[in-house]
Amino acid sequence: MTETSLRPGGTSSDRPVQHQTDDGWETLFTPPNNPMRARIARGLFHNAVRTLPIRVVFPGGRRIGAGGPDSPVMRIHRPAAFFHRLGVDAKIGFGEAYMVGDWTSNSLVELLTEFSARMSTLIPPRLQAFRRWVDRRQPSSEENTVSGSRQNIHRHYDLSNELFATFLDETMTYSSAWFEPGSTDLHKGQLRKIDGVLDYAMVGPDTHVLEIGTGWGALALRAAERGARVTSLTISAEQKALAEKRIADAGMADRVQVLMRDYREAQGSYDAVVSVEMIEAVGERYWPTYFGAVDRLLKPGGRFGLQSITMPHDRMMATKDSYTWIHKYVFPGGIIPSPEAVQSSLAQHTSMRVHAFRDFGHDYAETLRQWRLRFLGHWSQVSALGFDDTFRRMWEFYLAYCEAGFRSGYIGVRQFSIGR
């Protein structure tokens, strides 16, 4: 078990659950005794859900919310614990409360979609001005320096290759598919997505491609099948090992080289650069460095094919320094850029510009739906790897939370064709 896994057996409501950190096991989830903050959280929660098309059910049958009989139901089993967690930090406590069973839902994605669709208005505008004083900021220990990035990536991507294999398709691609109209075939959608990025970077026979973020090797293999030579960079030891095995098994070891190297340490000159959903782990402070590295490494006339999760610029600016449940449990140090932020960084720090783009956020919702169903359907295999029920609820919440974000349009995904 590695850093973000949860200790087996630590799921009972009458004892704390523990979470592994660099310094050992840290006890979490014991609701702090702060009645004032809990009362404030209770009032804000009641006000937020009052007009939502959901039903919130408390022990004893009391209900709030504007939902009807067919609306998603949120059952709060331990109200005192739930509101204590929200009072400490709503952005983290809401997800933690689900992890330990303070609340459940009969339609988790639908429920979270309703929250996500109104994310910017759940808190009254007069109170949003206090965000800077109550929001936790991302810890300096998770800053994306060269060493910090390695640790951040390790905490998620080095969990277990076998874990990811239980819910990804056979390409082992951990990013949004791009489906053919009318199709939800995940394997074909992943290949179409990869081909879209490679086309945007103009990857063909005899081109030398730099890939920033290897994953498990699917894009590198697809590029090699086009006749390209690929240098792929990763900072995940687990991904490197499996990617190299997959590349060797495919007979492409002479065309693809996987290096354990940060993008800031890359050398050489390339006909094309590609990167799929890696920029979200770069951090706002390092976007100029990231794009500057691509500009430095790309040959004249070359193209950069980029795929990124995106969010509206005003929401990015309002939340970019916040420390959230996703940061704590899934993607430490992460930040999703807006399309405007990408274009601004390119204009200010490189000689490159966006030449074309495509958006397909609803395809990401479908991708996540399939991942979630596969993960839950293969839970016995995941459990056999040593992960416990709290981990299952954590990942169910993570996949459902992200699916809801794409469903509601709160976040999107975009492929860019970038060049000079």
pLDDT tens across 327-357, in order?
999 988 889 999 999 999 999 999 999 999 9
Backbone CA torsion sign across 337, 339, 345, 346 = positive
- What is the token pair recorded at 285? 């402070």
Per-residue pLDDT tens for 40-98?
889 989 988 999 999 999 999 999 999 999 999 999 999 999 999 998 888 899 999 99
Give 92-117 as a 3 state SS string. Answer: HHHHHHHHCCCEEECCHHHHHHHHHH
Please tell me the total number of residues recorded for the chain in this structure. Answer: 420
Query: How are beta strands 229-234 and 208-212 bridged, if at all?
Result: parallel
Asked if residues 360 and 413 have their Cβ atoms less than 8 Å apart, the reply is yes
Pairwise pLDDT comparison (374 vs 47), residue with the higher score: 374
d(CA 300, CA 122): 48
Please enumerate in sequence order all residues whose Cβ is within 8 A of that of 164, keeping only pairs 6 or more positions apart, or say none: 172, 174, 216
33 compared with 104, residue with greater pLDDT: 104
CB 314 within 8 A of CB 249: no
Integer-rounded Cα Rg, in Å, for the chain is 22
pLDDT digits (tens, 9 = 90+) for 182-231: 999 999 999 999 999 999 999 999 999 999 999 999 999 999 999 999 99
Helix residue spans in 118-264 (DSSP H): 125-128, 131-134, 146-157, 161-165, 186-200, 218-225, 237-249
Write down the domain spans for the chain.
31-135, 141-419
Q: How confident is the model at residue 153 (pLDDT cuts 50, 70, 90)?
A: confident
Q: Are 223 and 276 in contact (CB under 8 A)?
A: no
What pLDDT digit, counting tens, does each position of 237-266 carry?
Answer: 999 999 999 999 999 999 999 999 999 999
CB 337 within 8 A of CB 343: no
CA angle, 25 then 30 then 34, to 5°: 135
Residue 203 near residue 182, CB atoms below 8 Å? no
Phi, psi of 77 (to 5 degrees): -85, -35
Hey, is 259 helix, strand or coil?
A: strand
User: Residue 297: what residue type?
Assistant: L
Which residue from 198, 180, 197 is spatially nearest to 366, judged by alpha carbons?
180
How are strands ordered across the β-sheet holding 229-234?
Answer: 256-260, 229-234, 208-212, 270-276, 298-310, 412-419, 353-359
* 7 pLDDT higher than 50: no
**Which of 3.40.50.11750, 3.40.50.150, 3.40.30.10, 3.30.70.1520 would CATH assign to domain 141-419?**
3.40.50.150
**pTM to 2 decimal places:** 0.88
Q: Average per-residue pLDDT in the chain? A: 88
Among 47, 43, 117, 53, residue whose Cα is nearest residue 86: 43
SS3 366: helix
**Distance between CA atoms of 68 and 365, rounded to whole angstroms?**
25
Sign of the CA dihedral running 341, 345, 348, 351: negative
State whether the Cα torsion 297-299-305-311 is positive or negative: positive
